[in-house]
Amino acid sequence: MKVFYIDVESFCANDFIDSLLKYRLHGKKTEIFKYAYSNVGVWHDPDRESDMLESIRKESPDFAFSFNYYPLVSKVCQKAGLKYISWVYDNPQVALYHYTLVNSCNEVFLFDSEMYETYASQGIKTVHYMPLAASTERLDKFTMSDAKAASYRSKKVSFVGSMYTEEHNFYERMLPKLDSYVHGYLEGLMRSQIHIQGYNFIENCLSDDIISKMYDALPLEPHKDGVDTKNYLYSDYVINRRITGIERAELLTKIARKYPVDLYTKDESFSAPGINNHGIVTYYDYMPYVFKGSDINLNISLRSIKKGIPLRCFDIMGCRGFLLSNFQEDFFRYFEPDVDFVFYESQSDLLNKVDFYLQHEDERKAIAERAYEKIKKDHTFNVRVEQILTEAGIT
């Protein structure tokens, strides 16, 4: 089996490649040809398309693969008659609205069941639902007895993730040109959504008039060769990012009034009493130490992830870390609350559960251990490779 691998930097890449290399199709060893790909935001590039097509014909792979979906790759694979498997781990993912999504070469696996339902309900046959995974084999190699782990021991509460103040901050760019009525409306809308877990109503609450005024303040254009809308762009790329930033800052700040909070994020300028901002922690080298060394690992999902389980959660559970998460519906497909993980329903509920689980170490460790065993059995990249290739018809 030979894989034409679209080589774009992604968190999952090394673990997935390792599992691919272990996979045997008809007893034959897997080969991987890595095709360097950098113009990920470009959907039409004749020179790149020609070069990719030439490489495919030269290598004669069994299928192409990428993390996240790239319309340009789909166009080339359709022309080459090559199956294109993609596994989407980001939401929003505007590329899914490109007209190429219906190409017969596609097998698109989506980590958020609501994303899957959105496209499948339109009669699109090229999409599948597939949750993310963790490599317990790799994560087991990180031990808290390692010298490198010293600074990650005895952490109370930790959060690893963006504060959405450092990049793609469309809301702040839009604000100076926004009229006071729309500003007030959006602030009220965001505050209402913060109090609701499990249902996102932002897109439905952006009227044509509101969208028009947001557009005047910050023009975002839907793609001409796609079916994305202004409502989608402004709800997921502007408002839901802003909500997530507000929510993460408020929750971490409130927890830190009582317990030390260790924050690992790109924005090193973010500060509040009780929060120790360490800056970025590298995914493959040090992040597992954070998850293993923390009493409580928080997940506060990006609000555009409507139902899916973020990769962070699989990594936490795969590290035998205790996971305290906001409500995400897809958890309940595979995990049992208060048995494998704990979820909170409100800010006050979160604070109460932080209190409880910091004081009940045995319960905390038992939950983390059960989650780890489920990940190791059913949610590794080895398991996912077989599931994806089987569902994609690679037999």
Ordered by start, the domain boundaries in the chain are 2-133+381-391, 136-167+239-378
Mean pLDDT, to the nearest integer, of 129-153?
90
* Residue that is written with structure tokens 């899914």 in the block: 96
Of the spans 10-14, 65-69, 268-272, which averages the highest pLDDT?
65-69
**Amino acid identity of 224?**
K
* Rounded-to-integer distance, Cα 94 and Cα 100, Å: 12
Mean pLDDT of 15-33: 93
- SS3 of 319, please? coil
Considering the four listed CATH numbers 3.90.79.10, 3.40.50.2000, 3.90.1150.10, 3.20.20.370, the one that applies to the domain covering 136-167+239-378 is 3.40.50.2000
d(CA 213, CA 215): 5
Q: Alpha-carbon distance 116 to 122, whole Å?
A: 10
Residue 21 has pLDDT above 80, yes or no: yes
Residue 64 has pLDDT above 70, yes or no: yes
Which one of 3.40.50.2000, 3.30.70.270, 3.30.360.10, 1.10.1060.10 gives the CATH number of domain 2-133+381-391? Answer: 3.40.50.2000
Encode 11-43: b = buried (16+ Cβ within 10 Å), e = exposed: bbbebbbebbeebeeeeeebeebebebeeeeeb
Instruction: Enter the tokens of residue 331.
Output: 């958890």
What's the pLDDT score for residue 28? Answer: 87
Percent of the chain at pLDDT > 90 equals 91
Helix (H, G, I), strand (E, B) or coil at 158: strand
How far apart, in whole angstroms, are the C-alpha atoms of residue 81 and residue 76? 9
pTM: predicted TM-score of the whole model, two decimal places:
0.96
Vertex 40, ends 238 and 247: CA angle to 5°?
A: 25
H-state helical runs in 227-310: 230-232, 240-256, 287-293
The token duo for 374 is 């489920």
